[in-house]
Amino acid sequence: MVNYINYTSLILIFPLIGFLINGVFGSKLKSEKLIGSISVLGVSIPFFISSLILIQMLSSNIDERLYIVNLFSWIDVGSLKINVSYLIDELSIIMTLIVTGVGALIHIYAIGYMHGDKSFWRFFAYLNLFIFAMLNLVLADNFLLMFLGWEGVGLCSYLLIGFWYDRNFDKSTTADAAKKAFIVNRIGDFGFLIALFLIFTNFGSLEFVDVITQASVLQSGDELLTAITLLLFLGATGKSAQIPLFVWLPDAMAGPTPVSALIHAATMVTAGVYLLARTSAIFILAPFTMNVVAIIGITTAIFAGTIGLVQNDIKKVLAYSTISQLGYMFLACGVGAFSAAIFHLMTHAFFKALLFLAAGSVIHALHHEQDIYKMGGLKKYLPITFFTFLIAALAISGIPPLSGFFSKDEILYKAFSFGSFWYWFFGFIGAGLTTLYMMRLVYLTFYGNENFDDSIKPHESPKVMTIPLIVLAILSAIGGLIGIPHALGGTNYFEEFLEPVFKTSNSQLPFVFENITTEYLLMALSVAISICAIWYARNLFLQNLKKSELIKNKFSSAHNILVNKYFVDEFYEKIFINPIKKLSDSFLWKWFDIKIIDGLINNSAKFIQYLSSVLVKVQTGVTENYVQIFVLGVTLILLKIIL
Amino acid sequence: MIPLNYYLLFAAFLFSVGVVGVLIRRNAIIVFMCIELMLNSVNLTFIAFSAFMGNAIGQMFVFFVMTVAAAEAAVGLAIIIALFRNKKTINIDQINLLKW
Amino acid sequence: MTFEEIVFWSLVLVSGFAALMVVISRSPIASALYLILNFFCLAGLYLTLNAQFIAVVHIIVYAGAIMVLFLFVIMLLNLQDETKLRERMNWKSFAAIALSILFLIELFYIFIIKTPTPKIPIHPSSKEIGTVEYLGKILFTEFLFPFELTSILLIAAIIGAVVLAKKKFELTD
């Protein structure tokens, strides 16, 4: 039998090859089809290989499912030994499948969406580079290689947000949005790096397996572990757009829609959740951090959900929805339900990617119109888009038996049983908010009056775009079925599959007696609030638009706060950015840089110049003089030998 | 029987003569010949050692030194020709191309 | 004085004289001819050291090839007026000669007093070592790689010589 583990390196090589071909020769390749196919192959072949690995994994024993594939030694300096080696276990293979599977669909979609763009090849080169970096992130078996991937995806995110660097976005340019994303991420990366230093100085290794074994000896609540986990979590908040570092994600919508779907919804932003899951055995030993994670998660979920209610840009609503859903995942991590977080991560990847792609299809049909108040009535023009969008919206709202229902209820139930009533309560409110803003999108976009320009004749997107939509719709619909909870007669297969990865962290959790009645009650409540929210949304945004105006005017101050996103950007501007700018301008630049740094360099240069003007006299340029000095030197050396 | 030292001392003498030539002559071609002289004095020590130690490596070295000398002569003389064409002289006093 | 010693001393005297004349003689042609004489004597010295192969190759390469090249170049450049090259002895020349003599004394000191070499006869196996057969064998086994490298060196020299001699350089001066 073939051992597919041996082909692990191919998973990483194909996207890299795709990137190199498109990046180096892309501008010479005239055919969009060729560029697109190279890129799609670069993602779908890894998907195929990792599926084979998954099948092989499923047929082997539970305790034989962890493989470490060592490719080569990367750094070997003193006690620091870093290999480029990849860890294949249940968690990383699921992440790989999500990244490559959803990635492949989005690549196919992008062929249609980016049709006719002047730098088509550049887009696909970046996408493949992103996939390569993301695969490094999820497959790495040590922190440093993961950090490499982490920075790599950050770079690709920057490049792709600013892809249309000559366009404007909001009040500034896409380049500004890209810079914002990059700089905010740096703050998180700073935390991640400090955590790496702490880990290396204290445990002497950066390999996950080593670190976890050594850390698990320590007492629960150990200060060192708390510090490390808090710093890692800071990294996670940066990448996964949680409070306080979420501000970059809404601006990241400046990028092309497939990018928003792939990077800013399905894959990259979930890296933080993956980081927590990967190091769950350490996090579980730091109860303080766990509380912080849960509180930040649930706060972000509510906070972003409320902002999402009033945004008018279709992609921004989805962006805030992503932040909110990521908050749910962190809530799950915070209460110790890591497998529930990964489950939601997976289903979220399906339906959020679908939502973005469908939104992209709408934007495409309306010639880059993103304001939902200038849409409406698109149902009959874009039937496939409408239908798939609806499925995704219902899935995210948690309507059974669509995928979101299972994953979200899993989180809420775990929050209730491992965490506290309040976690559940706010999660529950958040679920209502989610449904409300999603349905607002559905009604304002696809129902009601046609508010778009008469000159625009909306048309359904080409097949290359609709087929990925349909596939993702099917996945969003049935993806949850692999995690049917025990209460509904399932076996919660997904959790069982991930069990070996989270064995250590699960063993630390308090024992909870499964109370089926409570679980039923919680499910019924969340379904009920979703249905209420759907009804309310229908009432407000379809039948009675005036009423929504009325409410808006009545609570105009609250509405104003929400529209302005709680003034977080302005707050950061005032508190951090402006003082730093002032400091940099008056002190760092005009005094320190010019006087000290430039002065140092200029004066040392002047000194050297003076020295040279003296020494240059030796350089006569006449060969003879050189020979004379050379012979003199030899004579002196011989003299030294004699004496 | 001639001791090893005689060969070495004679080689040292030849080398010094070469050095004097390089230092006092201005004609580039003669300077070049003096360099060949120095190379040959080194070859002589190599072969002397080789013979007295019964080791063939010294002779192999001489073989390679000859190759290098041949290559050097070819390139060096070509440079002298090129210089002469441009400057109409091969007086090394008047050639200060090494000056930056 | 044995025959061996007579040969050695006569070779040393002639070759030393020739070397001095290379440096002293005015005309480059004379210098070159004295150098050839010097080379022949050196080849003789090699023979006294049982290095037959090297002696023959030395004559072929140096006297036969390199020196002919020198003579060609001297004649090509037609250095008639170059004989007027004003090579007057000045203080620099004396300093150079003094330096060289110091250098020679130092070398003598090292060879004779500092690290005197043992008074041993020529190694018996040197007769066998100097043969073409023996040297050829190790040249193509132990020294195969450097031997192949010399081919690259020679190619580079050929190309370099052709390019340099052919091209008309524009010297900005």
Q: Which 8-state DSSP code applies to residue C122?
A: P
SS3 letters across chain B: CCCHHHHHHHHHHHHHHHHHHHHHCCEHHHHHHHHHHHHHHHHHHHHHHHHHHCCCHHHHHHHHHHHHHHHHHHHHHHHHHHHHHHHCCCEHHHCCCCCC
Q: Quick check: A583 pLDDT over 80?
A: yes
For A271-285, give the DSSP string: HHHHHHHHTHHHHTT
pLDDT at A567: 86
B1 touches chain A (CB under 8 A): no
Residue scoring higher pLDDT (C120 or A327): A327
User: Of A291, A367, A383, nearest to A375 (Cα)?
Assistant: A367
Q: Quick check: A31 pLDDT over 90?
A: no
- Rounded mean pLDDT of chain A? 89
Q: Do the Cβ atoms of A393 and A441 come closer than 8 Å?
A: yes
Chain B partners within 8 Å of C23 (Cβ): 17, 20-21, 24-25, 30, 34
Chain C partners within 8 Å of B54 (Cβ): 123-126, 129
Percent of chain A with pLDDT over 70: 99
Instruction: State CA A175 to chain mean position distance.
Output: 19
Which residues on adjacent β-strands are paired with residue A81? A76
What is the least distance, in Å, from the CA of B36 to any CA of chain C?
A: 9
Weakly modelled stretches of chain C, pLDDT under 70: 79-88, 167-173
A516 touches chain C (CB under 8 A): no
Nearest CB to A628 within list C96, C103, C114: C96
Phi, psi dihedral angles at A84 (to 5 degrees): -85, 90
Q: Quick check: A528 pLDDT over 70?
A: yes
Q: Quick check: A168 pLDDT over 90?
A: no
Chain C partners within 8 Å of B9 (Cβ): 107-108, 111-112
Nearest CB to C106 within list A628, A632, A639: A639
pLDDT at A196: 93
- Rounded mean pLDDT of chain B? 88
pLDDT at A367: 84
Q: Quick check: A299 pLDDT over 90?
A: yes
Residue B68: partners with Cβ closer than 8 Å, 6 or more residues away: C153
User: Which of A168-172, A499-503, A513-517, B40-44 is predicted most confidently?
Assistant: B40-44
**C3-87 maps to which CATH number?**
1.20.120.1200
Q: CA nearest B16 in A: which residue?
A: A631
pLDDT at C117: 80
A634 touches chain C (CB under 8 A): yes
What average pLDDT score do residues A38-63 get? 91
Q: Quick check: A77 pLDDT over 90?
A: no
Q: ∠ CA(C15), CA(C19), CA(C25), 5° rounding? A: 130
Total Cβ atoms within 10 A of residue C136: 11
Where is A101: in which H helix or E strand? helix A90-113
What is the least distance, in Å, from the CA of B58 to any CA of chain C?
A: 10
Distance CA C134, CA B35 (A): 30
Domain definitions of chain C by residue range = 3-87
Q: Quick check: A296 pLDDT over 90?
A: yes
pTM: 0.71
What average pLDDT score do residues A357-373 get? 88
Distance of CA C45 to CAs A197, A323, B34, B58, C14, Å?
70, 91, 19, 15, 11
Q: CA nearest B65 in C: which residue?
A: C150
Q: Do the Cβ atoms of A344 and A325 come closer than 8 Å?
A: yes
Q: Quick check: B98 pLDDT over 70?
A: no
What average pLDDT score do residues A28-32 get? 86
Q: Do the Cβ atoms of A209 and A186 come closer than 8 Å?
A: no
Distance CA A63, CA A65 (A): 6
What is the least distance, in Å, from the CA of C120 to any CA of chain B?
A: 7
Judged by average pLDDT, the poorest of A448-462, A592-606, B10-24 is: A448-462
Domains and CATH numbers, chain B: 4-94 (1.10.287.3510)
pLDDT at A298: 93
Helix (H, G, I), strand (E, B) or coil at A311: coil
Distance CA A392, CA A614 (A): 78
Residue A495: partners with Cβ closer than 8 Å, 6 or more residues away: A339, A340, A343, A410, A483
Tokens of residue A399, six digits: 């309507």
Taking only Cα atoms into account, the Rg of chain C, rounded to an integer number of angstroms, comes to: 21
Where is A224: in which H helix or E strand? helix A223-239
A638 touches chain C (CB under 8 A): yes
- Residue C145: how many CA atoms within 13 Å on its side-chain side? 1
Q: Do the Cβ atoms of A135 and A300 come closer than 8 Å?
A: no
C102 touches chain A (CB under 8 A): yes
Distance CA A581, CA A591 (A): 14
Distance CA A141, CA A82 (A): 10
Residue scoring higher pLDDT (A36 or B96): A36
Percent of chain A with pLDDT over 90: 48
**Predicted confidence (pLDDT) per residue in A92-146, tens digit:** 999 999 999 999 999 999 999 998 888 899 999 999 999 999 999 999 999 999 9
SS3 letters across A478-546: HHHHHHCCHHHCCCCHHHHHHCCCCHHHHHHCCCCCCCHHHHHHHHHHHHHHHHHHHHHHHHHHHHCHH
ipTM here: 0.91
What is the least distance, in Å, from the CA of C22 to any CA of chain B?
A: 8
For C68-95, give the DSSP string: HHHHHHHHHHT-TGGGG------HHHHH
A55 touches chain C (CB under 8 A): no
pLDDT at B84: 84
- Which band of pLDDT confidence, cut at 50, 70 and 90, is reported for residue A544? confident
